[in-house]
């Protein structure tokens, strides 16, 4: 059963758009001392103002979850009951839940395969910025966008990283796939999102992975990192050169995440076909003997330049200086993705010149 409570909005931050995340403070009814941090997805429940009566889901904050340290507005009883939905929308997301809403999916009737453009698959949302930045440094002018899947936060507006990368022109777009919602475009499947992005939107490459945070149960298969297995299989099936962005750490207190994380090793072990895995040069990380069938590539990275980029350089409370391997691995994957995209463009250009099409 949902853990819902009534509350009164006592402070708000201005919402930055019609479909984004709005931060606020809410005083729970009957608990005048209980003023708590909360967020509202304005695309679902509209904007809140001081004095609004709201219903909030308090489960995550009560559990003390590290990536969910806030309540979430479930409904605005003061001004949130007059919504009409999106005009022309006809397919449900979050279907058969109280937050079901209609969207206009990007999937078209035709399928054109193979797509032949590269896809980088993330293990964590924190890898997105270094992958996108390294891609742009290596091949300025080529377009790469983000397809958000399950495995972490589902609302597209919850990612400040995506907003920062879009503002800087480092991402060509943001599509939310499957259960994820609230991106610039909506797709019902990861396959549909990648097809639309690489074919209709003409992205030269795509980065595919979860939103912020990660689901986890301290088990081998029960964690959000397993979404990388599904996304990799989809990319391979669509004929895309697939780069698995390895989760690595030089400072994680948990031994299972030191070096190459067990999340990445499990995905590599279970994959039905080989993928490309980048290793940062000049870093003491050995290629695991158990997954030698994959295409392991060492490449140089520029950690100081990324540190000075102004993009986020913290992951799970650790800075780039404290955990350089995490960022180096993601930067290496961005460079390999860029190399694959540039090679594909050269091949396509040569073919165009030969045929005159």
DSSP 8-state class, residue 92: E
Which helix (H) or strand (E) element contains residue 24?
Answer: strand 21-28
pLDDT digits (tens, 9 = 90+) for 180-216: 999 999 999 999 999 999 999 999 999 999 999 887 7
User: How large is the average pLDDT for residues 239-259?
Assistant: 85
**What pLDDT was estimated at residue 241?**
98
Q: Tell me: the pLDDT tens digits for 62-79?
A: 888 766 689 999 999 999
The pLDDT tens digits for 82-110 are: 888 888 898 999 999 999 999 999 998 89
DSSP-derived secondary structure for 145-203: EEEEESSS--BGGG-HHHHHHHHTT--S-EEEETT-B-SSEEESSHHHHHHIIIIIS--
Instruction: Pick the closest to residue 148 from 227, 73, 93 (CA basis).
Output: 227
Contact 46, 79 (CB under 8 A): yes
* Token reading at 193: 């999102």
Residue 221: count of CB within 10 angstroms of its CB: 10
Instruction: Give Rg (Cα) of the chain.
Output: 21
Q: What are phi and psi of 355, to 5 degrees?
A: -90, -20
Helix (H) or strand (E) holding 103: strand 101-103
Q: What is the spatial distance between Cα 345 and Cα 205, in angstroms, rounded to a whole number?
A: 10
Q: What is the pLDDT of residue 352?
A: 60
Closest CA to 226 of 146, 330, 122, 119: 122
**Amino acid 253: pLDDT:** 67
Q: How far is CA 298 from CA 85, 130, 283, 287, 333, in A?
A: 49, 16, 10, 10, 9
Are the C-beta atoms of 111 and 309 separated by less than 8 Å?
A: no
């Amino acid at each position: 059963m949902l853990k819902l409570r009534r509350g009164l909005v006592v402070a708000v931050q201005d919402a930055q758009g019609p479909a984004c995340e709005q931060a606020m403070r809410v005083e729970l009814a009957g608990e005048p001392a209980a003023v708590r941090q909360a967020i509202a997805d304005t695309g679902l429940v509209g904007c809140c103002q001081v004095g609004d009566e709201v219903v909030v889901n308090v489960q995550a904050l009560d559990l003390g979850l590290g990536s969910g340290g806030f309540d979430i507005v479930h409904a605005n009883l003061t001004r949130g009951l007059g919504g009409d939905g999106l005009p022309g929308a006809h397919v449900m997301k979050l279907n058969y839940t109280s937050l079901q809403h209609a969207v206009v999916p990007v999937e078209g009737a035709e399928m054109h395969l193979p797509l032949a453009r590269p896809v980088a698959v993330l293990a964590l949302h924190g890898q997105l910025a270094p992958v996108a930045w390294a891609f742009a440094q290596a091949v300025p002018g080529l377009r790469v966008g983000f397809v958000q899947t399950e495995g972490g936060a589902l609302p597209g507006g919850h990612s400040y990283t995506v907003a920062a990368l879009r503002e800087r022109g480092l991402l060509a777009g943001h599509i939310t796939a499957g259960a994820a919602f609230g991106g610039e475009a909506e797709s019902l499947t990861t396959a549909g999102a990648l097809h639309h992005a690489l074919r209709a939107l003409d992205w030269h490459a795509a980065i595919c992975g979860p939103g912020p945070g990660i689901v986890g149960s301290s088990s081998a298969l029960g964690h959000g990192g397993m979404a990388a297995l599904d996304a990799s299989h989809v990319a391979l099936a669509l004929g895309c050169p697939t780069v698995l962005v390895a989760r690595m750490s030089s400072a994680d207190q948990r031994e299972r995440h030191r070096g190459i994380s067990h999340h990445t090793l499990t995905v590599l072990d279970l994959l039905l076909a080989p993928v490309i895995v980048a290793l940062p040069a000049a870093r003491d990380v050995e290629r695991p003997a158990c997954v030698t069938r994959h295409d392991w590539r060492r490449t140089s990275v520029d950690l100081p330049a990324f540190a000075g980029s102004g993009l986020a350089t913290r992951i799970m409370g650790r800075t780039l200086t404290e955990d350089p391997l995490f960022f180096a691995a993601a930067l290496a994957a961005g460079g390999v993705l860029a190399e694959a995209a540039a090679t594909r463009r050269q091949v396509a250009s040569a073919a165009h010149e030969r045929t005159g099409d």
